[in-house]
Amino acid sequence: MAEICALIGPNGAGKTTLFNAVSGNVVADGGSIRFRGEEIAGLTPHEISARGARRTFQNGGLFPELTALENVLVGLHAQVGSGFFGLLFGRRSAAAEASATMRARELLSTMGLAHIAEQKAGALSGGQQRMVEIVRALATNPPLLLLDEPAVGLAPAARQQLTSVIRNLARTRNIGILLIEHAIELVMSVADRVIVLNDGRKVADAPPEQVRADRAVLEAYLGHA
């Protein structure tokens, strides 16, 4: 069973900068970033993703003119090889296309999204787009998933569904989750460990019940919970 670790703190604390460094979107000016025993600082986002650390973005990253199914197929590119876009646009073999499409449909179905497979991503609700982006990140069976504020703008029902999905990924699929989230109640209900950052420094690292009980942390960084 993999760990769910939440990274929280006030705006400007350094949460997104840390995510960007881990995923290779920025180059850290010091220190070490190790993933599965290997140094990954200085690698490109593609190289880090290929090693199994996949990331979603706060503002989304779907192709709005592609369907949900086609967006998930994009996530399969590391498995289907350099001819991926040929697959998407009809230049791959029928067997390769059928195999990738079946895998993408299975992933959508697992997340309860089979009914939106043929809908354009740009026409989906914010919650549906967020879930499709997570499904796309899961396409290559990554050992680590970095979720950047996945609950932002979600209605309560969609937020509850997201909570269940995150738990399921860690508990049944053994995918480690590193989560940035401002929805504190979601964090406290789903995380195994909570790290609190402020001004680029770690000020707390403990199970959620301990962080919740630390009034100084709550008042300084989270407000009263």
200 in a structural domain: yes
Write out pLDDT tens, residues 152-182. 888 888 888 889 999 999 999 999 999 999 8
183 falls within a domain: yes
> Is there a domain that residue 182 lies in?
yes
Q: What stretch of H or E contains 69?
A: helix 68-75
Reported as a single tens digit per residue, the pLDDT across 1-29 is 899 999 998 888 899 999 999 999 999 88
Q: Quick check: is 81 in a domain?
A: no
- Between 25-29, 91-95, 186-190, 207-211, the lowest mean confidence (pLDDT) is in 91-95
Q: How far is CA 169 from CA 7, 70, 184, 217, 219, in A?
A: 18, 22, 20, 29, 32
Within a domain: 26: yes
The count of domains in the chain is 1
Which residue segment(s) compose the domain that 172 sits in? 4-62+125-222
User: Across residues 105-110, what is the average pLDDT?
Assistant: 91
Nearest to 138 by CA among 174, 163, 164: 174
Assess if residue 74 is contained within a domain.
Answer: no
Q: Is residue 192 a part of any domain in this protein?
A: yes
Give me the DSSP letters along 11-59. TTSSHHHHHHHHHTSS--SSS--EETTEE-TT--HHHHHHTTEEE--TT
Task: Give me the percent of the chain exceeding a pLDDT of 90.
Answer: 51
Residue 35 in domain: yes
CATH of the domain at 57: 3.40.50.300
- Residue-level pLDDT at 2: 94
Q: Which of 45, 22, 57 is nearest to 130 (CA)?
A: 57
Overall average pLDDT of the 104-118 stretch: 92
